[in-house]
Amino acid sequence: MAFPLGAPTQSTVWYSFMMPKQHPRRRSRSIQIGSVAIGGGAAISVQSMTNTDTRDARATLAQIERCAQARCDLIRCAVPDMAAAEALKTICAESPLPVIADIHFDYTLALAAMEAGAHGLRLNPGNIGSRDRVRAVVSAARERRVPIRIGVNAGSIARPLARRVDAGDMALADAMVESALEHVRILEEMDYDQIKISLKASDVRTTIDAYRALADKTPWPFHVGVTEAGTTRAGTIKSAVALGILIEEGLVDTLRVSLTAPPEEEVVVGREILKSLDLIAGGHRFISCPTCGRTEIDMTPIAEAVERYLIQTDPPLTVAVMGCVVNGPGEARHADVGIAGGRGQGILYRKGKVIRKVPESELASALIREIESILAEGEETQ
C-alpha cells in the first residue's frame, strides 16, 4: 500500500505523539462539611451560593430548598453583618443542606456564624487581622469540626504579589498559588486539619494553570470553579471547559459553577458536567439530534419539553429525540425509549422497535407517557 507523501502506514505509530490519557484522581485529604465528605476519593460534590439577602431567612431557605431539589450538595450564604449571622441560626436549623458561611475581614462574624450552626466557613485567615483573632476562629472551628475554605480570587491576591504580577514578574496563576499557600500556612501552623482551597479567576486558562500548579504543593482538597464566569451561556461554557479539563486531570474534589443566574441553575449545570463524564451514577441520559436538511418536524420545542420533564423526574432511562425516521431509531438503538420525526408526525419506539405513529403535536406527551408507563412497569416487577 502506498501511503501518500511518504508517511508510514497505519500499522506503525507514525510519529511520537505522547498519547493523552485520563489522570488518576489527585489523592487529597478528606474533610467533612456536615454530612458531606470532600476529598480523599469522595464523590465530587456540587455547591452553590444563595443570592437572597441572608438576613431574610425565609427567602434564603426557599432558595436553598430549590437548590436541594436540583440535587445540590452544599450551600453557601454571604454573611456581611451581624443581622445575617443572626438569621443564619434559622437557616442552619432548617436547611436541608449543610450551610457554609462566607465571611470577609470581620472575624466576629465568623465566630457568630459558627455559633449559629454554620457547617463550614469560607474565610481567608490572612485577611482577618491579628494571630489572636485567627486563633479564636480556629479554636471555635476545631471545637465544632467546621472546615475552613481558603478562597483566593485572581482579583484579590495580596498587594505585594499583585504588584509583581502587574510588573510582569510573576504569572497570575503562580501569584494565586503563593497567596493561597500563605493563608494555608497560617492554619497549618495552628495544626488545623480541616482545610479546603479554591483558586478562582474569571478566565479558564488562569484557573487551570493555578490548580495544576497547586496540585503537588499541598494535600488539601480543591474547591474548583471559574468566578464571574458570565451569563448562563458564557458561564456555562467557561465552567464546563475548565471543570471538564480539571476533573479529567483528577484535580476536582468539589465544584461550583458561577453564573449570573439563579443558584439552582448553577446546580443543574454542575451536575450535567459531572454526568457528562459519567461521574453521577443513575438518572436519565438524553440524546437529541441536531436536525438537518432531512428533518421535517420542528424538533427544538419537542426536545426542550422532554428535557424539562427529564430534569425534573430523572428516570434511570436513556431517552432519544431524533429528527428523522431513517436514521433515528438506528442511531439511537441503545435508547430505552424515543421518538423519531417524519412529515407532520413521528414514530414512538422502545429499544429500537416501533410502537406506533404519533401526530407531531402529540410527540412530546406520547414520549413522556411511555416513560411513565415504563417506570410503572418497573415498580410492578419490583
- What residues from 55 to 114 belong to the interface with a second copy (CB under 8 A)? 60, 77-80, 84, 102
Closer of 189 and 377 to a second copy (Cβ): 189
Measured in whole angstroms, how far is the alpha carbon of residue 367 from the centre of its chain?
29
Contact call for residue 50 and a second copy (CB under 8 A):
yes
Closer of 221 and 263 to a second copy (Cβ): 263
Give me Rg for the CA atoms of the chain. Answer: 25
Stretch that binds a second copy, among 9-17, 33-41, 340-348, 364-372 (CB under 8 A): 9-17
Closer of 65 and 203 to a second copy (Cβ): 203
Closer of 166 and 377 to a second copy (Cβ): 166
Q: Which of 98, 157, 154, 166 is nearest to 124 (CA)?
A: 157
Q: How many CB atoms lie within 10 A of CB 58?
A: 12
Distance CA 78, CA 312 (A): 28
Question: At closest approach, how far in Å is the CB of 379 from a second copy?
Answer: 27
Neighbour order of strands in the sheet with 99-102 = 195-200, 148-153, 120-122, 99-102, 74-78, 45-49, 254-256, 223-224
Pick one of 90, 127, 156, 365: the residue that binds a second copy (CB under 8 A). Answer: 156
Question: At closest approach, how far in Å is the CB of 376 from a second copy?
Answer: 25
Closer of 111 and 332 to a second copy (Cβ): 332
Task: Give the orientation angle of helix 204-214 with respect to helix 172-189, to 10 degrees.
Answer: 40
- 121-140 residues near a second copy, rule: CB under 8 A: none
Pick one of 121, 267, 321, 367: the residue that binds a second copy (CB under 8 A). Answer: 321
**C-alpha cell of residue 136:** 479564636
Q: Which of 49, 29, 48, 47 is nearest to 39 (CA)?
A: 29
Distance CA 88, CA 100 (A): 10
Pick one of 236, 254, 346, 358: the residue that binds a second copy (CB under 8 A). Answer: 236
- 247-286 residues near a second copy, rule: CB under 8 A: 248-251, 258-261, 263, 266, 268-269, 272-273, 276-278, 285-286
Distance CA 200, CA 194 (A): 20
* Antiparallel, parallel or unpaired: β 254-256 and 285-288: unpaired
Question: At closest approach, how far in Å is the CB of 382 from a second copy?
Answer: 26
Distance CA 50, CA 150 (A): 19
Closer of 24 and 168 to a second copy (Cβ): 24
- 160-199 residues near a second copy, rule: CB under 8 A: 181, 184-185, 188-189, 191-193
Distance CA 349, CA 197 (A): 48
Question: At closest approach, how far in Å is the CB of 270 from a second copy?
Answer: 10
According to DSSP, the residues that pair with 340 across neighbouring strands are 322, 347
- 215-234 residues near a second copy, rule: CB under 8 A: 215-219, 227-234
Contact call for residue 23 and a second copy (CB under 8 A):
yes
Interface with a second copy: number of residues (CB under 8 A) = 115
Q: How far is CA 74 from CA 29, 78, 259, in A?
A: 18, 14, 16
Residue indicated by cell numbers 465530587: 44
* Antiparallel, parallel or unpaired: β 337-341 and 345-350: antiparallel
Query: Which H or E run contains 348?
Result: strand 345-350
- 340-369 residues near a second copy, rule: CB under 8 A: none
Site mask for a second copy (CB under 8 A), range 280-319, x = bound: -----xxxxxxxxxxx---xx--xx--x------------
Contact call for residue 377 and a second copy (CB under 8 A):
no
Contact call for residue 331 and a second copy (CB under 8 A):
yes
Closer of 202 and 365 to a second copy (Cβ): 202
Distance CA 148, CA 127 (A): 13
Contact call for residue 143 and a second copy (CB under 8 A):
no
